[in-house]
């Protein structure tokens, strides 16, 4: 009696549950299919976008080279500055020796005046010393002038290295700006930003070429 009363209700509830599950599955399946087919790809075809990676790669590589080159130029400028200081010290020593010999020779010449009460032997010895001091002066003067010219050459070389470093610094700045503009163009998909980045990058490359041309030709 118990079984005959509840059995139809149990089977009826089970049938409703199965039907509900089937309906839910059908709804989910239809939703997924509509999501895959109903939403078209609205991403426009951007022909210049494929060149963004190439542009940023080239500019980044050149920027890395410029950073290394700038470091080398700084080291070369420091070396030239140290050599200029050394040459200046040597020139100062040579000029000091030249002046010392001039003073000594002048003192001896004062003592060698005809009115000076010197015997022949002393006068001869003083004259020999005076001649020796005067003979050393041209060599000291030549050495001092040589070291002065060497100092000027080192200073000019150092300034040239610093000038080239400044140019490469401007070129590196242009490269970084070009990379930034190209990256922004890829994000916002605006060709104007990409072309601006390419233009700035080309300016940086032109500055780099000018710097190396000046280095080679010595301008």
> Over the chain (219 residues), what is each successive 10-residue block's mean pLDDT?
45 53 58 48 66 91 93 94 95 91 81 69 76 86 93 94 93 94 89 92 94 82
Rounded to 5°, angle at Cα 77 from 212 and 79: 130
Provide the pLDDT for residue 104: 83
Backbone torsions φ then ψ of 43, nearest 5 degrees? -70, 120
User: pTM value?
Assistant: 0.65
Provide the pLDDT for residue 2: 42
Q: Using an 8 Å Cβ cutoff, are 98 and 137 in contact?
A: yes
Q: Using an 8 Å Cβ cutoff, are 84 and 158 in contact?
A: yes
Provide the pLDDT for residue 130: 76
3-state helix, strand and coil shares in percent for the chain, rounded to the nearest 5: 90, 0, 10
Provide the pLDDT for residue 156: 94
Provide the pLDDT for residue 6: 42
Q: Which two tokens stand for residue 26?
A: 């059908």
């Amino acid at each position: 009696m118990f079984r005959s009363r509840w059995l139809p209700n149990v089977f009826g509830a089970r049938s409703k549950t199965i039907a509900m599950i089937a309906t839910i599955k059908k709804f989910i399946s239809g939703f997924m299919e509509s999501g895959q087919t109903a939403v078209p790809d609205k991403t426009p075809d951007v022909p210049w976008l494929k060149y963004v990676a190439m542009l940023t790669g080239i500019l980044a590589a050149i920027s890395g080279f410029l950073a290394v080159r700038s470091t080398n130029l700084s080291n070369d400028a420091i070396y030239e500055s140290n050599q200029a200081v050394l040459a200046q010290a040597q020139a100062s020593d040579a000029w000091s020796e030249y002046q010392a010999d001039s003073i000594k020779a002048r003192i001896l010449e004062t003592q060698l005046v005809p009115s000076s009460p010197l015997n022949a032997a002393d006068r001869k010895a003083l004259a020999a010393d005076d001649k020796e001091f005067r003979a050393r002066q041209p060599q000291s003067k030549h050495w001092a002038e040589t070291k002065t010219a060497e100092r000027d050459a080192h200073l000019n070389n150092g300034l040239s290295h610093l000038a080239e470093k400044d140019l490469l610094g401007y070129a590196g700045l242009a490269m970084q700006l070009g990379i930034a503009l190209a990256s922004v163009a890829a994000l916002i998909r605006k060709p104007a930003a990409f072309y601006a980045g390419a233009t700035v990058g080309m300016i940086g490359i032109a500055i780099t070429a000018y710097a190396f041309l000046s280095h080679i030709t010595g301008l």
